[in-house]
Structure 1
């Protein structure tokens, strides 16, 4: 009798487990079909809006949930998932973290005058050069134009006193690069390799284009009419521009940023604290734009724009969520609002609201 009851119980358990497994498999198949349908619809939307290629990274709870490259290469073949993108000014947050890791390690001082290591000849006679610090540069308060070539005489100059207000400047980041390289006798790519790329296994990320780069995976840039731009192959690191990376590598970097990896508590707090207000609801911290979402939450962000490049990311440190968007066309910004609101709902809409005020 006992054997019979045991046999019946085992049969019932087996039956229930079998049913649960079948239900789980059916659910997974539905999700796979739904995801496939979504991707198909999105690629059709891209074609209608003339977006040649798009890299999308979704981070949930501090882990990569989705890493997908949509679109086609110039050969009309599907884009590989490890497509290499030039991410323009998304270079700057990487440079910022290099500097902040050195500060955290006690090897660099956030508020030490950079004149102790480097002074640009164009401003050597201007005493304001001694006010330049890493904090001022990472929060875009140098007083420099974005690029010196924008000036009529092509020379670097102060347009206001350092530390008095916000003005976005790539020149500032390049100034920091030169100071770091003088101090450590290494180029920026070497410093980043030691502090970020190697530890995070970002094997496809570099400030420079070298013989190891697989050109067949590189995403060429286009104007809005579909004309291809010449490929930029930098051989000298630029602290503000032209980083080459993949969706998976950059997503890994942002997860590390949210975790504060390699940063002291003080430096991490400084990084995520607004140093200067840029507009209502938004400020600049150390290397990152900070959006006040109104409920004790924030979003950290940075965008990038060059010829044939439009890139952006938003990370939400409270929930450890985020989105990374790489496009290879001048008007790739058209996808930002659609993707941000689709994946992050009210928070996405709040970001859009702050930007469009």
Structure 2
């Protein structure tokens, strides 16, 4: 059927019609399980600095499921000047038997959703279940999704504080979190209101002093561009869990020097974390992978352990979630088919 072959295009709105936090969590759990059992492969990452941003390619396959593809993504900070999102991503799935493309999809919401879902899974596995206080560094799309994911994982959470880039309160960020209270949505994963629910008993407020906020938190999320240490190591209390999102490129970091050496460190992928994540700054420390925690119980938490989840993002997260969305689109008749004869 070479002459009648088609390529399915799923744009932002098509993805929004299909994507939910529950779907993302299911796909990400599946991806980490595949990674732990070495049933899915992660190919070497391309991650390069450009004149105006950062560009990368994450790719891989799951042979038993005939899943092959990549995500091309990066960060272009000047997009903010035009009212656009600085993170941009595109996912492509291929037929591994022929190499022909099957589905091209907007990857922005996919990236947000799968990153938040990975953090949710990490929080469920690594943080204290009775955690009530959270601090998030950052006020962007990913920070909003990360807070929603933490709320899903920690139903007892009663306080969310945020540290902004300019040190000032962010009314839009506060409104975005407030709007999601008691809401469970589907659709656009770039909108935090669709990434879970926030208890109406949870307070949301700006934290003018990062060290004070960290010292008074059970869970800390760092979701910034990774320009340097965000707080002092002396602020860290025993038992705190850190979800680290921003260090995803050589030279980036968010944690202070010495914190990893004091912590129980879990990575999505050890090799990637050593090359791109927080672990690039402490290459000799011990580390386990989240998939092994999930499938083999490779982690037992003591009450006073400081835990760090070093997230650099697995290609399998994007591909397995993309596979789910592709199947859902075909079933629902969503997207645009384009003739792609060969």
Looking at CA atoms only, which structure, 1 or 2, has the larger radius of gyration?
Answer: 1
Q: Comparing both structures, which one devotes a greater share of its residues to strand?
A: 2
TM-score, normalised relative to structure 1: 0.27
